[in-house]
Amino acid sequence: MLSVAKAVDAALRALLVVLVVMLVFSIAWQVMSRYLLDDPSPWTEELARFLLIWIGMLGASLAFRQRAHLGLELLPQKLKGTAAVVLKYFTLFVIALFAITVLVAGGSNLVALTWELRQYSPVLGMPISWVYSVVPLTGTIIVFYCLVQALEDDADTAVSRGVGEL
């Protein structure tokens, strides 16, 4: 399971780098096409907004893996022994509960609804359900990461704190 987790980590990382580079270029192209070509590009804004949804969601799943999400660390840092283990499993359970209900169940239903209603994005003509499909995908990855963290030692989890003044 840990080797699968490593593969998922690597795939997510690579995908995020590509999505960020695409984001920068689409906005930069928006400015350049307006001033240099005098012909504002119509699709850049919509593409960038969709990229942001994907980066936000997929990046959030990776942040669960690295425990980079912001929270009050006082209690987890104070507790030792059994209490700490109980709290670790409780926290993982709560995160997985949220991921299963809102992201997987709610997200899948959202994808199904937009698919049935045949909603397309105004400029790119992309089915909205494709854009929203990242929600159940993210939920599934988060649940997977919760399982991985429940099985592995805390020492194995690469904690990346300090995302800053967020």
Partner 1 sequence: MEIALLIIVFAGLFALGVPIAVCIGLSTLTTMAMTMDFLPAVTTIAQRMAGGLNSFALLAIPLFILSGQLMAQGGIARRLVEFSKAIIGMVPGGLAFVNVISCTLFGAISGSAIAATTAVGSFMIPEMKKEGYDKNFAAAVTVTSATTGLLIPPSNTLIVYAVASGGVSIAALFIAGYVPGILISLALIMVCAIYARRHKMPAGERVSARAALGYTVAALPSLFLIVLVIGGILAGIFTATEAGAIAVLYSLLLSAVIYREIGIADIASICLKAAQTTAVVMFLIAASIAMSWILAYENIPAMVAETLLSISDNPIVILLLINIVLLLVGIFMDMTPAVLIFTPIFLPVAVALGMSPLHFGIMLVLNLCIGLCTPPVGTILFVGCALAKTTIDRMIRPMIPMYAAMFVVLMLITYIPELSEGLPRYFGLID
Q: Nearest distance from residue 115's CB to partner 1, in Å?
A: 13
- With 0-12 CB in 10 A as exposed, 13-18 as middle and 19+ as buried, what is 96? buried
Q: Nearest distance from residue 60's CB to partner 1, in Å?
A: 4
- With 0-12 CB in 10 A as exposed, 13-18 as middle and 19+ as buried, what is 53? middle
Q: Looking at beta carbons only, is 5 or 58 nearer to partner 1? A: 58
- For 136, residues 6+ apart whose C-beta sits below 8 A from its C-beta are 103, 104, 107, 108, 111
Residues at the interface with partner 1 (CB under 8 A): 13, 16-17, 19-21, 23-24, 27-28, 30-31, 35, 45, 48-50, 52-53, 55-60, 62-64, 66, 68-76, 87, 90-91, 94-95, 97-98, 101-103, 105-107, 109-110, 113, 131-132, 134-135, 160, 162-166
Residue type, 24: V
Q: Looking at beta carbons only, is 24 or 151 nearer to partner 1? A: 24
DSSP 125: -
Q: Looking at beta carbons only, is 35 or 38 nearer to partner 1? A: 35
Q: Nearest distance from residue 138's CB to partner 1, in Å?
A: 9
Q: Nearest distance from residue 143's CB to partner 1, in Å?
A: 13
Q: Which two tokens stand for residue 162?
A: 């300090």
Q: Which two tokens stand for residue 72?
A: 């009050």
